[in-house]
Structure 1
Amino acid sequence: MGKLFGSIEAGGTKFVCAVGNADLMILESTTFPTEKPAETLQKAVDFFKPFYDEGSLAAISVGSFGPIDVAIGSKTYGFVTTTPKPHWANADVIGFLKAQLDLPMYFTTDVNSSAYGEKILDSSLNSLVYYTIGTGIGAGAIQGEDFIGGVSHTEMGHTFVKRHADDLDFAGVCPFHNDCLEGVAAGPSLEARTGVRGENIALESPVWDIQAYYIAQAAVQATLILRPERIIFGGGVMAQEHMMNRVRKQFAAQLNGYVTVPDLVDYLKTPAIADNASATVGNFALAKREYERMVCKK
């Protein structure tokens, strides 16, 4: 058996762990709820331990919900930092894993992992932005082989948006900023406005166009600031087929022809593979890259 690579998609609701080969194909995977850090991370260790003990597991990449510290050399590198998720603020994810799995590890955001996976799946792309619109909103951006970011990862889900005229009385649900993008367009905002879970809201409800208005603004911001070749929208909100067309329509109206973009069917898209599997592909590739980087250093 050749070298194997590990993926941890550390979500706020669930962890998805997988082992894949050098061709980035899943060989084995498991999913379990995100509970307290020690018990959740121990389940991840237990999944990888047989592959580690037999010597086949070469490296692991972790794509985590955030905010996280990705600055190598920082005292809190590998930590989840100021998350509102109970028990997870200042959780040392990489430290816990490395204590039992002494391997090269790459640590990034879950959306960066997804973005990298999408780029792997379409080698024609040199740049892209990936948004997840779900329980929260996050985004990752890639230029060449590099994630966009300076002192840390981007937090594009917490940028501020112009309020929809029919939504001015809604305070927003973000615990830090109230009506930032996440506060007005993440899944929980639907239930906060209507009292109904998103999957049960009628298609003719005006709340969907309000939602699309904000998500389109995110796409306009990414277009004007980063000029990517593609913008991809994943997450539960965008898994509803009607949403992508609503967002494209709003995007066209808001951009108003200011700059040239590809045909919107090709420019604004949902992920290449379902169920956020792009993150697993991305993590395999990042783990492989990290292993090769560490081997070349020796």
Structure 2
Amino acid sequence: MTHRIAGIELGGTKCVATLCDDQRRILDQTTVPTTSPDVTLPALSAILARWACDSPFSALGIGSFGPVGLTPHTPDFGHITATAKPGWRNADVLGILSGPHDVPCRFDTDVNAAALAEGRWGAAQGLEDFAYVTVGTGVGVGLVVHGRPTRGLGHCELGHIRVPRLPGDIWPGHCPYHGDCVEGLAAGPAIKARLGQKPLHEATAQDPVWTGVAHALAQMCHGMLMSCGPHRILIGGGVANGQPHLRGMIERMLRESVAGYIPLPGEPFILPPALGDQAGPLGPIALGFSALESVRPGSPVSRAQPLLAAGNG
């Protein structure tokens, strides 16, 4: 039996709906702007309904910007919670999108989902302990420990930790909750604010703004190394991909900060995601595969085939 897997990635500016077969060939992929819940979620529901009508899918994965509720049987499970995005607090993402479809479903943060996709098919294959960091509108971290994203009182929010600042830097930061947390120092809106609202692509690699950005991210990575010891840290997202020199800066600062206390490998430790700009959209597909495998252990879902795009809608 051939399975089709549906995935929905809810991002802060856009959402991506992806439909794959069980060899991970992309059968359809559609982008929907992230405006308000009463507009965006029905648009995504309509895409799922169309796919289900054409040929029912076997599983659904949903990865959402957050914070989100991930504890089953609690009132906020499947909801977006304390977001700063207007109108989205308490939006019932899981209920609205999965409710009409009687198929296995998994829900997680968008960055946790992307991390799992990189672990299944990308630059973290074969690793049980690694991290995926996205630096864009925010700073999100998918921290995978013993093969699973971390859980507890909430999901990983390392982008909101406070880290040592560069000497003499007293800029208050741009996070509405924490001011000078990592996101408040290194996310796209923070960088743009420090540049006087100049577009990021106009800042050259030599602009001093990147020193502070790389330092904040390196300190965050230092914290991950000392707490969980990931074997690899992948850094993607619009800011990192648009400024590829950042990864080298972060690695140099991280090695200097760690000072040999933990023996890092000789080869690069900070890498880009191997799935590129498909890491986000394929994250919910990875969740969908996991959902299907959990209820149908014999399902012929592929872990080894290369990604093949069969269409783009």
TM-score (norm 1): 0.94
Quote the residue 1:250 is aligned against.
253
Q: For residue 31 of structure 2, what is the amino acid of its counterpart?
A: T
- Does the residue aligned with 1:100 lie in a helix, a strand or coil? coil
Tell me by how many angstroms 1:228 deviates: 0.9
Q: Structure 1 residue 86 and structure 2 residue 86: aligned?
A: yes
Instruction: Quote the sequence identity (%).
Output: 34
Tell me by how many angstroms 1:78 deviates: 0.5
Q: For residue 76 of structure 1, what is the amino acid of its counterpart?
A: D
- Between the aligned partners of 1:257 and 1:112, the Cα distance in structure 2 is 29
Matches within 5 A, 1:121-200: 121=121, 122-168=124-170, 170-195=171-196, 196-200=198-202
Alpha-carbon deviations, 1:188-229, whole Å to 9, x = none?
Answer: 111111211211112221111111111111111111111011
Tell me by how many angstroms 1:166 deviates: 4.2
Summarize the Cα distance change of 1:148–1:34 in structure 2 as closer, same or farther, 3 Å threshold.
same
Q: For residue 125 of structure 2, what is the amino acid of its counterpart?
A: S
Tell me by how many angstroms 1:55 deviates: 4.5
- Does the residue aligned with 1:108 lie in a helix, a strand or coil? strand
- Between the aligned partners of 1:130 and 1:51, the Cα distance in structure 2 is 30
Q: Structure 1 residue 228 and structure 2 residue 230: aligned?
A: yes
Contact 2:7-2:60 within 8 A present in 1 as well: yes
TM-score (norm 2): 0.89
Q: For residue 279 of structure 2, what is the amino acid of its counterpart?
A: S
Q: For residue 263 of structure 2, what is the amino acid of its counterpart?
A: T
- Between the aligned partners of 1:32 and 1:280, the Cα distance in structure 2 is 12
Tell me by how many angstroms 1:241 deviates: 1.7
Matches within 5 A, 1:41-56: 41-56=41-56
- Between the aligned partners of 1:36 and 1:30, the Cα distance in structure 2 is 18
Tell me by how many angstroms 1:292 deviates: 3.1
Q: For residue 181 of structure 2, what is the amino acid of its counterpart?
A: C
Unpaired stretches in structure 2, ≥5 consecutive residues? 298-313
Quote the residue 1:63 is aligned against.
63
- Between the aligned partners of 2:216 and 2:5, the Cα distance in structure 1 is 38
- Between the aligned partners of 2:168 and 2:62, the Cα distance in structure 1 is 40
Tell me by how many angstroms 1:98 deviates: 2.8
- Between the aligned partners of 2:64 and 2:144, the Cα distance in structure 1 is 17
Contact 1:248-1:264 within 8 A present in 2 as well: no
Tell me by how many angstroms 1:263 deviates: 2.6
Aligned CA-pair RMSD: 1.6
Quote the residue 1:259 is aligned against.
262
Tell me by how many angstroms 1:264 deviates: 4.9
Contact 2:16-2:30 within 8 A present in 1 as well: yes
* Dislocated runs of 4+, deviation >4 Å: none
- Between the aligned partners of 2:70 and 2:208, the Cα distance in structure 1 is 39
Contact 1:190-1:197 within 8 A present in 2 as well: no
Contact 1:117-1:280 within 8 A present in 2 as well: no
Tell me by how many angstroms 1:56 deviates: 2.6
Q: For residue 28 of structure 2, what is the amino acid of its counterpart?
A: E
